[in-house]
Structure 1
């Protein structure tokens, strides 16, 4: 009788569990808030249709700090940065729960985002340096599985907490987890460092200002105050800052993100396609719980449970997306699926009171399935052709674009919802319908980008594993 071979990850099990818990905290927080927005709005004397700033503040802060996470970990050590990130995230969560006003809640979400921005990138970097290369894919898959579980339980848990106690507890549950994580981090996490060059502060400043200016200008469009002229000026400044970064990166030798990344066609198309496809997709987790509660009268728990078919179908589809791409090729899958995702987003305009529950379940599951195919295929495409020297920078830029697109998507959805609500005389359901149609059309535009891909039928399954960990 032969004994079972020990798992190659056994020596790193404690480290991987700790990093997985950090990933779970970060991904849970991006979804648990959405179901609680109407209750938060009522408590803070805000319109529930204008609560997108709570989501935008967090996502935008994460997007801003991702480019600096690798340099900070190399400079100060993975243990110090990770434990510091967990501590700041926990303090931000406590501040969110104690916020007596809407503006203080937004500031607390920014603080929370400062910590959340470091959890996943620094965790991935720690695994890359602590685990042998031959075991890296298995280790990173172990760490990022909670990232799939977070969206599955987040909306339902958020709805239950709102009804059972109050919305404050969607933040308070992070406090004991964060304290435990910080204590274990000082004992378990290795203090890994690397030589650091000079940080591209000018490039980072241009990039960060551009992201903030564009996001804030889109977010402010839902306001009724006569500031739209100033917002347009802010938008132009943001676009100018991004152009300034492009010119800056073209002339310096150690740019934050070198332009040579975009010389790889699959990466260039993958990143740009990601940005435009996620402008619509980023707003859906914000819009759907609001639609169910504000326009259809669902309770927070029922609205949260309605997101389970979406998340479950998304997890299931990750098992077969590789076979789809191998059989049909990237161009056919991404062009066809992008159009299908946009159509599914627009189809939410057909939801109305009185429809049977089974129809909603099928509808939400179909949306989760096509959305999962889209995200996995886009990420795989972007990373598959990068060589070892460009993999780290390319992955960081892709992660930044994903969070930025989420921020812009929520800001766009909130702006459209506020504008249509005002145009329709306050009729919430009609405003939701027009908003879904518009973001569906925006998503479909990304098909024009993916159509530039050459025909191909080959996919590296290893690249899919790396992409799903992004």
Structure 2
């Protein structure tokens, strides 16, 4: 069997492509808005439409991987994502862009969780932290290169090039997966929970539509409010169904595992706040500071540079402080770095902005590594498919919510202050809301046992169950 670190690095090619895509799109939003004749603040739908589609289809990924084979599904998912990227680059209007981004979301929904499943079923518990680090470090090259590459491509060629760059990456990733990673045999899982999948999908779509449109004048108020009510009712219905179904779309019984519950619940709130930052930073630098796309990209990449630098230090931090204390106190530090972004003003030296973003990247990277490593530590082998579906949903939904909350906060602040375009005080409001949400993750991690994850950090322990 290939070295788990090599498999992790290859699977991470999918994470690289996805993370590169998300960061370059954020940097290119103002240029996309000018080209398509849209308001830059409304262009957030180009991000949330992808994230919503991703979240809606993720619950099905575990069943599809079991039924048709994880390697085959992974290859098809990379191909779908690559094709959709090319279509995004050919879009001539916002509706066309949204449609292509939804197709990207379908590919991404199968790509990342199924790739993670390919790896998790091949590693032992004591290899989990090492494999997770190798999995996420190449994936961090995406956000590390995304802002400067996205800015340069936008300024020198076109915003369309930020999507076309995924095509060669996707083709190389497919070749490596085909040649190196051994297949997992397909099985005959129970029939999918179609009713649960439908309820979950409708609930998520309704909630995200409501968050994107409430109070922003994009649709009549009664429509946004009605869809919000439908989303709340459908969410309650979906949760009740999944708690009772024999083979639910989302297996909430996994939340009875403390080491899984804490990363899901605490991580969900943390990711909403953290998810606002990649959306706010490029817009703040371009609309508030007057920076070009290339300039904002070069400064924005400090966040990813900090994230990349933290990965080798994660093991030391977890050994020294433990999973519980890291999740509690690092949430506080991460919130402070996001709040500090709210103090940015055009008079600030770019070097000072760079340092703040670097520290924020360090904190958020440590938090994500801790969450992602701990989540699967105590999950039985036979529950891994269900766990990847539920955890991936809990990962992606808050990122979409973070963008929606940040975009809504900006528009509300602009309207309340009687401005036509967003100014730095409006971005301050967005950063402070993000900081508050991030801070709320700290008390949610207190219930985690103090010895959680000890076998992972120590490098010992038995093989996975």
Normalising by structure 1, what TM-score? 0.88
Tell whether the 8 Å contact from 2:5 to 2:134 is kept in structure 1 after alignment: no
Task: Give the conservation status (yes or no) of the 8 Å contact 2:117–2:388.
Answer: no
**Displacement after TM superposition at 1:251 (Å):** 2.0
Task: Note if 1:375 corresponds to 2:376.
Answer: no
Give the aligned partner of residue 3 of structure 1. none
Distance 1:464 1:42, change over 3 A: farther
- Is residue 2:433 matched to residue 1:438? yes
1:139 & 1:330 partners in 2: Cα distance? 17
Equivalent residues of 1:127, 1:136 under 8 A apart: no
Matched, 1:395 2:388: yes
User: What is the 5 A alignment of 1:129-144?
Assistant: 131=122, 137=128, 142-144=134-136
Counterpart selection for 1:335 from 324, 328, 333: 328
Determine which of 322, 328, 344 is the counterpart of 1:351.
Answer: 344
| Secondary structure at the counterpart of residue 312 of structure 2 | coil
Residues in 1 aligned to 2:5 and 2:255: alpha-carbon distance in whole angstroms: 36
- Tell me which residue corresponds to 1:300: 293
Alignment equivalent of 2:24, drawn from 29, 32, 38: 32
Matched, 1:55 2:50: no
Deviation, structure 1 residue 245: 2.0
- Counterpart-to-counterpart distance in 1, 2:126 and 2:445: 33
Q: 433, 437, 447: which one pairs with 1:452?
A: 447
Deviation readout 1:123-147 (Å, 9 max, x if unpaired): 2333455x57599756665454321
> Are the counterparts in 1 of residues 282 and 296 from structure 2 also a CA contact under 8 Å?
yes
In structure 2, the residue matched to 1:206 is: 199
Deviation digits for residues 63-105 of structure 1 (CA, Å, limit 9, x no counterpart): 2222212221222234542332222212211211111111111
1:216 aligns with 2:209: yes
- Report the equivalent of 1:43: 35
1:157 aligns with 2:163: no
Counterpart residue number, 1:92? 84
The match for 2:284 is: 291
Contact 1:325–1:457 (8 Å) recurs in 2 = no
Distance 1:429 1:132, change over 3 A: closer
CA distance in 1, matches of 2:203, 2:214: 17
Once residues 69 and 219 of structure 1 are traced to their aligned partners in structure 2, the CA distance between those partners, rounded to angstroms, is 26
Please state whether the residue corresponding to 1:448 is helix, strand or coil.
Answer: helix
Q: In 1, Cα distance between the equivalents of 2:4 and 2:370?
A: 33
In the alignment, the residues of structure 1 paired with residue 321 and residue 171 of structure 2 have an alpha-carbon distance, to the nearest angstrom, of 48
TM-score, with length taken from structure 2: 0.89
**Structure 2 unaligned spans of 5+:** 461-465
User: Which residue, 109, 119, 123 being the options, matches 2:115?
Assistant: 123
Match of 1:5 in 2: none
Name whichever of 301-310 and 323-332 sits farther off. Answer: 323-332
1: distance between equivalents of 2:337 and 2:135?
31
Alpha-carbon distance in structure 2 between the residues aligned to 1:307 and 1:463: 35
Counterpart check, 1:316 vs 2:313 = no
Write out per-residue CA displacement over residues 276-320 of structure 1, whole angstroms, 9 at most, x where no aligned residue: 111111111011011001110111111111123221222222333
